[in-house]
């Protein structure tokens, strides 16, 4: 049932339930001249409501739950029959939730393409008839395609197809290799159990390598089991390490105690003395079994390009993944993250949206601000509406994605320089929040080249003037500057270094 409509294994339970539902309404040897459901209830079951499992359907939206210009139906996948009402169990493709409804239109010849997320027509493959002479020469063997399309006894035959249909055209279009490789990177690559991992050779080899290293390093020591103590079990942990472009670097398997905590085996070190770094690396490799991966290129979703002139960091791959996740990889670009001058509030009169999707989007954007300070204010602003987001808030968040579409290559360039002067900038708006009239502070700090510290935060109190808002922002930036200077001094920087904190000119008094 799942294979017929190319449904994922996540719907396995729904398929089993529907299969049992149908078997109870089919003849069986267990009871004569009646179906199991008839023997149980004493009433003959009706077959008028039966539909093809996994087919595309359209659920009617009641008038009171939509506006005049909105769509009257929602697209879904038929997954079975309700036991509590005379309705159908439908998987809503928009909300990703299971609903029950009676007002449903079915398209039983269509199915959902999960890769491209669109409706697809099933192509019926009808083999050409073989002449009797050829049948005698070839025997009575049937191909897999012929067996699959063979009519069941008593089932109605399909009407004759056109000659175009009779041609053995593939039911689904072929894909480019680049699409296949990209899809493979998004498949769940880490198995959750030993049984699942043992089915794949790459994970078997990874586990063998782990056992080999455990034996080589004498990690375990055989001991007598204490009588008054419980033995802690072990568990296999699987991890797929990726390169900056998303390709697979290696499959790693670890055998750990069921404390579910383990010591990371990756070691990152830095310094300005190449000889010291080389000596340290050689000493570590003599003491421990380890391999040198060279300069860091990818770390926690951040791409790192190290050159003699400096270091460039960005999150291009993460941005592309984010755009695909929210179906915005082909969107039109904009030049600013937000519409200039527009204010947002909690209750704007527009329809509410799915909070989980909105929170997922904002959370992903917040992680992206690690290398994209240009979206810091916009993302921080929209994060204030996580509790009850509206269509207006969601539209503003998608505008940030449109901005990212045109700036995927943006990042921060840290130039090699001897001018390590700490420079900070601070500014604020005034009464920017439409809900409580509070202002927003912002600051950035650079050290010789690119900025390395920034923030955008709503002020805790209501400023009675723009001057007060500017002073509150300057105070927060001054605190950060003092903290940064002390860290730099601990790292050997001279206390005589001259640092600058620049802010917008504000008046010393106000009415």
- CATH number for position 433: 3.30.420.10
Q: 497 is written with which tokens? A: 């270094």
Boundary residue ending a domain (102, 121, 140): 121
Handedness of CA 334, 337, 343, 349 (dihedral sign): positive
| 442 and 407 within one domain | no
Q: How far is residue 365's CA from residue 164's CA, in Å, rounded to a whole number?
A: 48
CATH of the domain at 82: 2.30.30
Q: How many CB atoms are closer than 10 A to CB 85?
A: 10
**What's the pLDDT at 376?**
92
Boundary residue ending a domain (121, 138, 157): 121
How do the pLDDT tens digits run along the chain, 511 residues long? Answer: 888 888 888 888 889 989 988 888 888 877 777 888 888 787 888 888 899 998 899 998 888 777 777 888 889 999 999 877 788 999 988 888 888 888 898 988 888 888 778 887 765 554 555 444 444 444 444 444 444 444 444 444 444 444 444 444 444 444 444 444 444 444 445 787 888 888 888 889 988 988 888 888 777 777 888 877 777 788 888 888 777 666 777 888 888 877 554 555 667 777 777 788 888 888 888 877 777 777 788 888 788 888 888 889 898 889 998 999 999 988 999 999 998 888 888 887 888 888 889 999 999 999 999 999 999 999 999 999 888 899 999 999 999 999 999 998 899 998 887 777 888 898 888 888 888 888 999 999 988 788 889 999 898 889 889 888 888 889 998 898 889 888 888 877 766 666 676 666 555 444 3
499 CB-near residues (< 8 Å, 6+ apart): 421, 422, 423, 424, 481, 485
| 350 and 366 within one domain | yes
| 442 and 361 within one domain | no
| 460 and 381 within one domain | no
Q: How far is residue 501's CA from residue 422's CA, in Å, rounded to a whole number?
A: 8
Calculate the alpha carbon distances from 75 to 5, 81, 97, 109, 133 in Å.
Answer: 16, 17, 12, 15, 50
**What's the pLDDT at 149?**
44
What angle in degrees, to the nearest 10, is found between the helix axes of 391-405 and 316-325? 140
Boundary residue ending a domain (121, 146, 178): 121
Q: Which helix (H) or strand (E) holds 341?
A: none
| 99 and 71 within one domain | yes
| 423 and 391 within one domain | no
Q: How many domains does the chain have?
A: 4
Angle at 432 between CA 479 and CA 331, to 5 degrees: 105
| 372 and 425 within one domain | no
Residue 151 is given by DSSP the state P
Whether 151 is in a domain gets the answer no
Contact 312, 414 (CB under 8 A): yes
| 384 and 488 within one domain | no
Whether 145 is in a domain gets the answer no
Whether 211 is in a domain gets the answer yes
Whether 394 is in a domain gets the answer yes
Mapped onto helix, strand or coil, the DSSP state of residue 455 is: strand
| 320 and 282 within one domain | no
394 CB-near residues (< 8 Å, 6+ apart): 353, 357, 358, 361
Whether 156 is in a domain gets the answer no
Q: 403 is written with which tokens? A: 């901005």
Q: How far is residue 31's CA from residue 288's CA, in Å, rounded to a whole number?
A: 71
Contact 366, 383 (CB under 8 A): yes
| 111 and 17 within one domain | yes
Q: How far is residue 222's CA from residue 212's CA, in Å, rounded to a whole number?
A: 17
Quote the pTM value.
0.49
The DSSP string of 54-121 is T-EEEEEPPGGGS-TTS-SEEEEEEEEE-SSSS-EEEEETTTTEEEEES-EEEETTEEEETTTTEEEE
Contact 416, 407 (CB under 8 A): no
**What's the pLDDT at 127?**
53
| 36 and 65 within one domain | yes
Q: How many CB atoms are closer than 10 A to CB 442?
A: 20
Whether 482 is in a domain gets the answer yes
- What residue numbers bound the domain in which 483 lies? 417-503
Kindly give the residue spans of alpha helices, DSSP state H, lying in 150-272. 163-166, 177-186, 194-197, 201-216
Calculate the alpha carbon distances from 342 to 225, 275, 337, 392 in Å.
Answer: 69, 55, 12, 11
| 327 and 253 within one domain | no
Mapped onto helix, strand or coil, the DSSP state of residue 343 is: coil
């Amino acid at each position: 049932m799942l294979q017929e409509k190319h449904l994922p294994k996540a719907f396995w339970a729904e398929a089993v339930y529907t299969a049992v539902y149908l078997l109870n309404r089919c003849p069986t040897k267990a009871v004569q001249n009646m179906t199991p459901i008839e023997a149980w209830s004493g009433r003959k079951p009706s077959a008028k409501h039966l539909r093809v499992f996994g087919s595309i359907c359209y659920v009617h939206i009641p008038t009171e739950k939509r506006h005049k210009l909105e769509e009257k139906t929602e697209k879904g996948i038929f997954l079975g029959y309700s036991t509590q009402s005379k309705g159908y169990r439908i998987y809503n493709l928009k909300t990703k939730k299971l609903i029950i409804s009676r007002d449903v239109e079915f398209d039983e010849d269509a199915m959902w393409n999960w890769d491209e997320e669109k409706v697809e027509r099933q192509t019926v493959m009808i083999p050409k008839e073989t002449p009797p002479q050829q049948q005698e020469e070839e025997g009575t063997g049937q191909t897999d395609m012929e067996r699959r399309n063979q009519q069941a006894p008593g089932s109605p035959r399909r009407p004759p197809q056109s000659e175009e249909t009779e041609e053995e055209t593939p039911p689904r279009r072929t894909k480019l290799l680049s699409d296949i490789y990209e899809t493979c990177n998004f498949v769940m690559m880490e198995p959750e159990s030993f049984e699942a991992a043992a089915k794949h050779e790459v994970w078997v080899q990874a586990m063998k390598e782990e056992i080999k290293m455990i034996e080589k390093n004498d990690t375990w020591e055989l001991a007598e089991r204490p009588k008054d103590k419980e033995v802690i079990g072990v568990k296999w942990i699987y991890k797929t390490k990726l390169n900056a472009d998303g390709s697979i670097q290696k499959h790693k398997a670890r055998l750990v105690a069921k404390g579910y905590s383990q010591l990371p085996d990756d070691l990152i070190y830095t310094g300005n003395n190449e000889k010291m770094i080389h000596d340290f690396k050689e000493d570590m490799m003599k003491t421990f079994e380890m391999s040198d991966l060279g300069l860091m290129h990818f770390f926690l979703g951040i791409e790192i390009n190290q050159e003699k002139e400096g270091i460039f960091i960005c999150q291009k791959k993460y941005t592309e993944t984010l755009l695909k996740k929210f179906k915005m990889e082909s969107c039109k670009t904009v030049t600013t993250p937000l519409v200039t001058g527009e204010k947002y509030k909690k209750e704007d009169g527009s329809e509410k949206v799915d909070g989980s999707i909105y929170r997922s989007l904002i959370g992903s954007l917040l992680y992206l601000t690690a290398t994209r300070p240009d979206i810091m204010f916009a993302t921080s602003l929209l994060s204030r509406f996580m509790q009850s987001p509206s269509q207006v808030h969601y539209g503003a968040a998608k505008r940030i994605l449109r901005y990212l579409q045109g700036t995927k290559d943006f990042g921060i360039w840290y130039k090699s320089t001897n001018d390590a002067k700490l420079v900070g900038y601070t500014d604020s708006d005034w009464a920017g929040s439409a809900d409580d009239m509070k202002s927003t502070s912002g600051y950035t700090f650079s050290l010789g080249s690119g900025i390395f510290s920034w923030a955008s935060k709503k002020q805790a109190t209501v400023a009675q003037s723009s001057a007060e808002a500017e002073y509150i922002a300057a105070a927060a930036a001054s605190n950060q500057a003092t903290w940064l200077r002390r860290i730099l001094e601990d790292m050997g920087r001279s206390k005589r270094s001259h640092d600058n904190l620049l802010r917008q000119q504000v008046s010393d008094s106000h009415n």
